[in-house]
Chain A
Amino acid sequence: MWAYDILNNLYTNGILYFAILIMSSYVLLGIYSGKEMAVYLKKNSYVNYRSILVSPTSPAISIIAPAYNEANTIVENVRSLLSLHYGNFEIIIVNDGSKDDSLERLIAAYNLVEVDFAVNEQIPTKAVRGIFKSTNPAFGKLVIVDKDNGGKADALNVGINVSQYALITCIDVDCIIEQDALLKMVKPYLEETDTVIATGGVIRVANSCTVEDGRITRVQLPNEWLPRFQVLEYIRAFLLGRMAWSKLNGLLLISGALGLFDKAIVIKSGGYNHHTVGEDMELVVRMRRYMHEHKLDYKVVYIPDPLCWTEAPDTTKILGRQRNRWTRGTAETLWIHRAMFMNPKYGLLGILSVPYWFFFEWLAPIIELFGMLFSILLMFTGNLNWQVFLILLAMVYTFSVMLSSIAILFEELSYRQYTRRGDLFRLFMVALLEPIIHHPRIVYWAIMGNIDLITGKKNWGEMTRTGFATK
């Protein structure tokens, strides 16, 4: 009986204190993010990016985009990348052993011929079958690599080996990159006096937006509820948290959809890890770990500007796969780098960032599940203190609504992407409904991700996309 009492006591008080801890951390990060965003917006309110664009001394960038079975969109996507506003860059498309005719379509569209390219195999990868360049000087910046299938991480590593410039941008080929994204991402490298090893920007949901010639021309809140929930999730994650982590120099994740990296450090850290499904987060953690272990000063910088638009999953099945994979990626990264956990040798990274991800990102859904299961148990045994239960539930719910409202406020005061009449109302409705409808599913997928991890599931899970609505 005493065990039951302890458990019950832990349940009533423990959940409250854990919730207060999580909520305090979110509030603190939110306040810090808000302050930093105000500084960023002020600092960049009259920046002339033209000076990078036209300068012969601006750094060159290699853009690396892995592609697997993207035949339907690959030609258009490459055309969109070629039109990015930047002076000195190359685009490396890595065809990761596609089973469709992606390569043939690229060859035909861009007049490609195989060249005698010597690959500097600094990171071990699957075999490269051939490297192609265009005979048309208009596409001189384009390099196509054909290789054996080895997954996204392996394809990115091949791209790194082939790249000729000191800065690399890794992107998802099916995303829409803002025309000035490279200019904005390269600025921290030029501006900071400390070595910047990576830069990331805000990813936005493109569902229901109008796309013309590979560019977003009209931003619109998605028509369906599922992508709408994700819009709010993205706004909250990117505007409320990452800016603060960036300022604290504790950012662990740069989205795989768009990130700019110092190639030398990527190579010294060993490149992308193809044994995890969270290769984007794992790379950033490993790069940071490398810098700490070699006692080198560095920064990972985050830019709050919307730089990349992605098609969010619009079915629960696909979203479930994505969130399952994200959970596995987080858990794998935390496990691979467990030596950093609470380790003062890694500074703020070891004592704050990694524990934060462990307790509040990975462990939170598990605690939430156990809390719910225990509540059900108490309910059936007639021991549930309904007053405590309902008050706790209502408190957590109002906190979630408050956090989302603050995120909407940040969005409104900064980038104001959703300006249509009724968009604000819809966003607030999402904020009210999300904790009841969407959040339980997120917890479920996180739990399933952990189960899959324990049972040894390794695959990415197929991500079918419907494609952007183009005009």
Chain B
Amino acid sequence: MEQTIYSLVNYLVLFWKNAPPVVKISTALLLLFTLVSILTVVIVIFSRVIISYKTRRNNDITERVKTFLSIMIALEEEIFEANTDESILNTITAYLKEEHIKIKDSTTRQILTQELLLIHQELAGNTADNLRKLFFLLRLDKDAIRKLRRKDWLKKAKAIHVLAQMDVIEAVNLLLPYTNDANPHLRMEAQMGYIQLHKDHPFDFLAYVDEDISEWHQLNLFATIAQNKNGIVPAFKTWLNSKNEYVIVFCLKMIGHYTQLDAISDLLRFMQHPDVTIRCAAIFALQKLETEEGVATALTMFDTADTDTKQAILNFFTEIRAESVKPFLKKNLFNDDFNLALTAAKALNNYPDSGRAFLEELLPETDNRMHKIIKHALDNRI
């Protein structure tokens, strides 16, 4: 046996010594690739075993937590009402023991927080208040606040989400520094949390935020405002003087959505802003307000405007149906730009009697292109 091993080693040493560089390099790579392949297979199998174990364990904890929360809801009068915090905590601890829930375990606390959040979102009134009380009594708020000090932005963002959902008002000042954080995800979560938690001035951060507010970010802020229980919708014109153009665009959108008519004079100012996005957002806000105030400015600026602004102006005119605009629309039926001509035709068709009649009268006299455009505008099924 020893002899065989010795000759094999000898053979390999000789092979390596006499082999050309090509063989040496290839052999080394071959061994490396084989080793990495085996290692990868081991990691895959190992990770599947670990993930399966964790999933089973978490599912088991989740089931027990759900049962515990169901008991809390079913017996809420008995447990929560007319009792001191200490006695409530004693009762809760007894139920936790009964369900074999180890409340000091970090995974269990995390699952309990998640489940509480889910149920709390769906409920209102006394039950929601009692669940919130349970959240505080189990000191789950302190877990979230502790996570705010972690380095990982995701942990911070998730903690902010928990604090905002469970209405931990005293945490509001802790969120403020993150509302202008360099990390866009953390910044967005912090701003959303701030809107939910600050009961008096939830939009303070708009005054000093100098980081980007992407469209995705704006959508999320909008969703938070729309769902906010304290119902504060501020006068968004307050921040129209911001140096941050993202803030201006966001405020213009909100002015339009919440029909804040007292901002019209500001909208007229922004109609001629050098930035096309701001310009179009201002015109779109005027369209949402269905006001005729911007008509004169729009008519003046139309000829020299870029295509996007022209389109925004024509869309605006589609909504307002002002008589003063009709000659302009008739002229633009013959615009070289197909989309602008079609929008003008649609805008004219919006005038219930005169506009539609005009288009119908014009129809026999038009060329093929115009004929198609007018027929399209007149077809209400499209």
Contacts and interface: CB of A to CB of B under 8 A. Distances in A.
Interface residues on B, range: 35 or more
Interface in B194-238: 212, 214-220, 222-223
B214 A405 contact: no
Interface residues on A, range: 35 or more
Given A46-B158, A401-B33, A116 B220 contact: no
A395 B34 CA distance: 9
Interface stretch (A48-56, A61-69, A245-253, A336-344): A48-56
Interface stretch (A299-307, A314-322, A408-416, A463-471): A408-416
Given A46-B157, A56-B257, A191-B216, A115 B381 contact: yes
Interface stretch (B21-29, B166-174, B298-306): B21-29
A392 interface: yes
Contacts of A217: none
A395 B22 contact: no
A310 interface: no
B124 interface: no
Given A12-B22, A57-B253, A395-B26, A402 B36 contact: yes
Interface in A369-422: 387-388, 391-392, 394-395, 398-399, 401-402, 405-406, 408-409, 412-413, 416
B43 A409 contact: yes
A121 B41 CA distance: 55
Interface in A35-75: 42-43, 45-46, 48, 50-52, 54-58
A133 interface: yes
Interface in A5-47: 12-13, 16, 20, 23, 42-43, 45-46
B375 interface: yes
B44 A412 contact: yes
Interface string B368-382: 000011011011011
B161 interface: yes
A343 to B, nearest CB: 31
Contacts of B376: 116-118
Interface in B86-122: none
B48 A116 contact: no
A117 B382 contact: yes
Nearest to A23: B29
Contact of A412 (B47, B154, B338): B47
Interface in A77-136: 113, 115-120, 122, 133, 135
B352 interface: no
Nearest to A120: B338
Interface string B345-382: 00000000000000000000000000011011011011
Contacts of A455: none
A387 B23 contact: yes
A452 to B, nearest CB: 34
A206 B189 CA distance: 37
Contacts of A441: none
Contacts of B373: 118
Contacts of A23: 29
A451 interface: no
Nearest to B20: A388
A398 B222 CA distance: 53
B67 interface: no
Nearest to B19: A387
Contacts of A408: 40, 44
Interface in B41-65: 41, 43-45, 47-48, 51
A394 B26 CA distance: 9
Contact of A42 (B154, B219, B338, B339): B154
A46 to B, nearest CB: 6
A391 B26 contact: yes
Contacts of B25: 16, 20
A89 B45 CA distance: 43
A133 B216 CA distance: 32
Nearest to B371: A118
Nearest to A50: B223
Contacts of B137: none
A190 B214 contact: yes
B215 A391 contact: no
A428 interface: yes
A113 B381 contact: yes
A428 to B, nearest CB: 6
A55 B219 contact: yes
A292 B185 CA distance: 30
B83 interface: no
Contacts of B44: 405, 408-409, 412, 424
B165 to A, nearest CB: 12
A23 to B, nearest CB: 8
B47 A413 contact: yes
A98 B34 CA distance: 52
A193 interface: yes
B9 interface: no
A271 B154 CA distance: 41
Interface string B136-154: 0000000000000000001
Nearest to B158: A46
A120 B339 contact: yes
Contacts of B382: 115-117, 133
A136 B97 CA distance: 58
A192 interface: yes
Given A392-B26, A413-B47, A116 B33 contact: no
12 contacts: A46-B158, A51-B223, A57-B219, A118-B338, A118-B373, A122-B338, A191-B214, A193-B212, A392-B26, A394-B30, A412-B44, A424-B44
Given A46-B154, A135-B381, A406-B40, 17 more contacts: A54-B223, A56-B257, A116-B375, A117-B382, A118-B342, A118-B376, A133-B381, A189-B215, A191-B216, A387-B19, A395-B29, A399-B29, A401-B33, A405-B41, A409-B47, A412-B47, A428-B41
Interface of B: 19-20, 22-23, 25-27, 29-30, 33-34, 36-37, 40-41, 43-45, 47-48, 51, 154, 157-158, 161, 184-185, 212, 214-220, 222-223, 253, 257, 338-339, 342, 372-373, 375-376, 378-379, 381-382
Interface of A: 12-13, 16, 20, 23, 42-43, 45-46, 48, 50-52, 54-58, 113, 115-120, 122, 133, 135, 187, 189-193, 387-388, 391-392, 394-395, 398-399, 401-402, 405-406, 408-409, 412-413, 416, 424, 428
